[in-house]
Structure 1
Amino acid sequence: MFKILIVAITLVFTCLFSSLAQQTAKNAPKREFRGVWVATVSNIDWPSRPGLSADQQKQELIGLLEKHKGNGMNAIILQVRPAADAFYAKSREPWSQWLMGKQGLAPAAGYDPLAFAIEEAHFRGMELHAWFNPYRATVSTNAVLSKDHMVVKRPDLFFTYAGKKQFDPGIPEVREYIIQVVLDVVKGYDIDGIHFDDYFYPYPVSGQTIKDANTFAQHPNGFTNVNDWRRNNVDLLIEQLDDSIHHYKKHVKFGISPFGIWRNLREDSLGSATNGLSNYSELYADSRKWVKEGWVDYINPQVYFSFTRKAAPFDTLVDWWSENTYGRHLYIGQAAYLMNQKMEAAWRLPNQIPDQIRYMRENNRVQGSVFFSSKSFSTVARATGDSLRLDLYKYPSLPPQMPWLDDIEPNIPLHLRAESRNDGIHLSWEHPLIAADGETASGYVIYRFEEGEHVAILNPKNILKISFLKYTTFIDTDVVSGKRYTYLVTALDRLKNESVASSPVGLAAH
């Protein structure tokens, strides 16, 4: 009887500790996508206004990255092509008007905003996804365009809707052009991902019609229904882009951030129990199909709704999307910009977004989220940033792995050494040997353990530094004299597969 009691007590404690371990994992997962959109259109997030000097732009961007790194983010979704223009030098399109104040006006010689952003993000252990708006060409009826803008050079490739110019997705040459624009960035920059937002065919405007009848007549592709034809036009672009991106760089992720509702249940038995505008019917974007066919590496629906939004509750849409991931990653778009707004009482509750994160973490088919947008964390969502920094994102996190692109981990970093000096503990190591897929290391994770702590790399609280650069040295300045520390280093490849840890090195700080 006594033995049975001991076994029972042991089982209770085992279950308790197992439960606590699972809760810890859910509260602070080591792998989670934590992104933020940085919008450049109309200077929403960066730069703060057109015409800043290169140094001013750089300082603003560094400040922005530091804030998001401090809040626990590990990915920046930077808008590099807001309206058939460019925030990067290696482009066939003119410089954006939101950079220097006039479309086509270059910034200072030698300054490439995208290249700078990539370097600074990678230094901080943050991915950089280049965000394109594929079809939008102007954002206003009175846009002043450069002579090199495609609307000026090739007006036959566009239609006008609600006074704005948009590439006509039904023209084969348009699709090929957009693919080449994207590939300029894939080939020319060390990006981690290509990202499309929710603007495909235009959002409906009362009294407006899409003027693509002639295109439909010239390029029907076997379709007789114009709605199906439009959806197919978008499908063709997505499928061809997926193939083209991974042909040139297998490690570059391709993701899309559609409007939050694919189809409503009343429209389709496969749809969500919602009532609202849908990707499928209004925007001619069959977002579920892109995931099902494996044309995207991640889907990032904009679920900009609260738990109490009757037409489209947050939890209803998260659950629906999680049941339609087909093995691809699901990141939920979260509306930081709605915090403390008056349109709905739920957004004035400080726990709205933290509770959304907790809800997503209970679902192992959700791998993270992306917040719109950067500026919100300096204005209406400051308290949300505090919740991330102090609680939910307290410990660093690596982006989740994508085994369908690469499941080969790098080899172990070599010869980790540590030396205690007056300014801290100096670490150095050597690059690992080449792995089976030809990669060495594209970054490193440094772990630190205090005396008596279990030395293992599973717990993110022991992560001291994540870098997506190839530096092989680090100085730990946050040490206490006389205290003993143990360090490990692991290697990361481009898709954030992590190596086995190096042999531990322990020493006391001076």
Structure 2
Amino acid sequence: MYQLRLFIYLILLLIATNANAQPLVDTVKLSAADSVALKKLQEDPKREFRGVWVATVGNIDWPQPRSTVEQQKQQLINILDFHQRNGLNAVVFQVRPAADAFYAKGCEPWSKWLMGKQGQAPVPFYDPLEFAITEAHKRGMELHAWINPYRATTDANYGALSADHITRQNPGWFFTYGGLKTFNPGLPEVREYITRIVLDIVENYDVDGIHMDDYFYPYQIAGQKINDATTFQQYGADFSDIRDWRRDNVNKLIKMLSDSIHAHKPRVKFGVSPFGIWANKSQNPEGSDTRGGDSYYELYADSRKWVQEGWVDYINPQMYWPIGDRLVPFDKLLPWWSNNTYNRHLYVGQAPYRMYERRQSGYLNPAELPNEIKLLRTNPRVQGSVYFSSQSLVNNKEGFADSLRLTYYKHPALPPPMLWLDSVPPNVPMNVRAAIMPGTTKVQVSWAEPVEAKDLEAAYGYVVYRFEGTEKIDISTPDHIIHVQYDPTTSFVDTTAQRGKTYLYLVTAIDRTKNESDRSPAIAVTIP
């Protein structure tokens, strides 16, 4: 299978770079078995990270401005329901867009994008992050708390900042660039502060991951200069070049966060979504064959090093260019990143928002995003993708969300396990039973919690499979998953059973990092 994936990947790369190429099935003659395998690769992976960014900055995705608390809750439920129906299994929820908070158990002020004014708590009170985690887990979806590490303001209206905003409490921690206040990454106290902010989230909330976006040192603006020369004189003695010092400052924060997160909760994942280009080959012989902005030289973010050193559990580059793009072709950037994963997970940032651009681009082609998904799935070093952003999917332009539900994500997928965090699977659920509920065709499946695994961890959740009586039992594919849950409940009601059919039910256990146990014995039920 691995050789087949490599073969198909190379073929798709050749086709993707040919603007006049015909579909694969018309170009390459595959055997019947390979055709089936290709279809499975493109449509039915059992393990795949399927995420979506839910942006709160500027109320991009949530909440709608001037919403009441009950309206906010319902809006978020609607968002989660929509993405669950379309097969997604992870939500990257922005909780700290600008040194502010969409959560209660921390030291930064409430975000102005929650109730309209920075520092204003929701009335009646609720905790948006806690609510989001609970609702996501109900739907078998991971919740990754997304923070912006260094951005402190998004406009120059400093008078609207609350009295307890960090820019007022410690004004010396910031420089102003492009009219916006940004944390000075060269200050050790800034790194310590950001780490404490992250640990507030890790210690107080049941998050599956901590996620950082691409805003490190600010994107360059002509005529603007970063005012950190004094900090360099104070802390940069080991460096002759201020640019290397800046990169080291960011590296120190990434490592500090990684160490701290995993020390406090070893199973919490840490990922970063950097700008899509690490460096261009024209700038660095180890860079990608692209011609665009970059993170290494422009943002002083050595994103490849974070993967090399194992400081992140996943890297999620924002690859917002189409296949065959003249300057930054998706199909050339993808193999560069896949060749630089260093056994960490690679989730590709995809751009449905670009379908709404007025200028001509490859994303005006309805087949662009589906073709990207197909290309990702033929690369054995890619474990999934994340879409920017939620509202772009909800709007369902060109029926893309429908294609996820009906084709590409029509079966559930479990997030890929991270064996460096946890390689010990749970034990098998015990005493599995299945019985028809009186007077209905509903089947209640129940089981007993398995004994603790070798690492002394209890089961975190369960997966229920259903086969028809004559089908071969095979849980290596997702076709027969009917329920995924992230809670310790030991029962499930199947409401889709049909009269006259015999079903076989079996259950597996999963742990926090989604390692899966062996399957239970199959229990047969015939619906009269």
TM-score calculated relative to the size of structure 2: 0.92
Corresponding residue for residue 107 of structure 1: 122
Equivalent position SS for 1:281: coil
State whether residues 340 and 349 of structure 1, in contact with CA within 8 Å, keep that contact through their aligned partners in structure 2: no
Corresponding residue for residue 434 of structure 1: 452
Task: Give the Cα–Cα distance (whole angstroms) in 2 for the partners of residues 312 and 471 of structure 1.
Answer: 47
1:52 paired to 2:40: no
Task: Give the Cα–Cα distance (whole angstroms) in 1 for the partners of residues 165 and 526 of structure 2.
Answer: 61
Relative to structure 1, is the Cα distance of residues 29 and 286 closer, same or farther in structure 2, using a 3 angstrom cutoff? Answer: same
Task: Give the Cα–Cα distance (whole angstroms) in 2 for the partners of residues 368 and 459 of structure 1.
Answer: 16
1:279 paired to 2:308: no
Q: Equivalent residues in 2 for 1:451-470 (5 A)?
A: 451-470=469-488
Equivalent position SS for 2:196: helix
1:507 paired to 2:525: yes
**Residue 98 of structure 2 is aligned with which of 66, 69, 83?**
83
Q: Equivalent residues in 2 for 1:343-358 (5 A)?
A: 343-358=359-374
Relative to structure 1, is the Cα distance of residues 221 and 172 closer, same or farther in structure 2, using a 3 angstrom cutoff? Answer: farther
Equivalent position SS for 1:461: coil
1:119 paired to 2:137: no
Corresponding residue for residue 484 of structure 1: 502
1:420 paired to 2:436: yes
Equivalent position SS for 2:297: helix
Corresponding residue for residue 288 of structure 1: 304
CA shift at 1:458, angstroms?
Answer: 1.3
Identity of aligned residues (%): 55
CA shift at 1:222, angstroms?
Answer: 0.9
**Residue 475 of structure 1 is aligned with which of 477, 490, 493?**
493
CA shift at 1:53, angstroms?
Answer: 2.2
CA shift at 1:342, angstroms?
Answer: 2.8
CA shift at 1:124, angstroms?
Answer: 0.8
Higher mean alpha-carbon deviation, 51-60 vs 456-465, is at 51-60
State whether residues 490 and 501 of structure 1, in contact with CA within 8 Å, keep that contact through their aligned partners in structure 2: yes
Equivalent position SS for 1:195: strand
1:195 paired to 2:214: no
Task: Give the Cα–Cα distance (whole angstroms) in 2 for the partners of residues 452 and 273 of structure 1.
Answer: 51
State whether residues 337 and 381 of structure 1, in contact with CA within 8 Å, keep that contact through their aligned partners in structure 2: no
Task: Give the Cα–Cα distance (whole angstroms) in 2 for the partners of residues 345 and 106 of structure 1.
Answer: 42
Corresponding residue for residue 9 of structure 1: none
Task: Give the Cα–Cα distance (whole angstroms) in 2 for the partners of residues 221 and 118 of structure 1.
Answer: 44
Corresponding residue for residue 193 of structure 2: 177
Q: Equivalent residues in 2 for 1:70-469 (5 A)?
A: 70-143=85-158, 144-379=160-395, 381=397, 383-421=399-437, 422-423=439-440, 424-469=442-487
Residue type of the alignment partner of 2:174: F
**Residue 46 of structure 2 is aligned with which of 30, 51, 57?**
30
1:65 paired to 2:80: yes
Relative to structure 1, is the Cα distance of residues 221 and 374 closer, same or farther in structure 2, using a 3 angstrom cutoff? Answer: farther
Equivalent position SS for 2:376: helix
Higher mean alpha-carbon deviation, 359-368 vs 53-62, is at 53-62
CA shift at 1:171, angstroms?
Answer: 0.3
Task: Give the Cα–Cα distance (whole angstroms) in 2 for the partners of residues 497 and 177 of structure 1.
Answer: 34
Q: CA RMSD in A?
A: 1.4
Task: Give the Cα–Cα distance (whole angstroms) in 1 for the partners of residues 244 and 75 of structure 2.
Answer: 44
CA shift at 1:455, angstroms?
Answer: 1.4
CA shift at 1:23, angstroms?
Answer: 3.5
Residue type of the alignment partner of 1:437: D
Aligned residues: 496
Corresponding residue for residue 15 of structure 2: none
State whether residues 307 and 314 of structure 1, in contact with CA within 8 Å, keep that contact through their aligned partners in structure 2: yes
Residue type of the alignment partner of 2:468: E
Task: Give the Cα–Cα distance (whole angstroms) in 2 for the partners of residues 110 and 437 of structure 1.
Answer: 39
State whether residues 123 and 468 of structure 1, in contact with CA within 8 Å, keep that contact through their aligned partners in structure 2: yes
Residue type of the alignment partner of 1:419: A
TM-score calculated relative to the size of structure 1: 0.95
Task: Give the Cα–Cα distance (whole angstroms) in 1 for the partners of residues 105 and 147 of structure 2.
Answer: 15
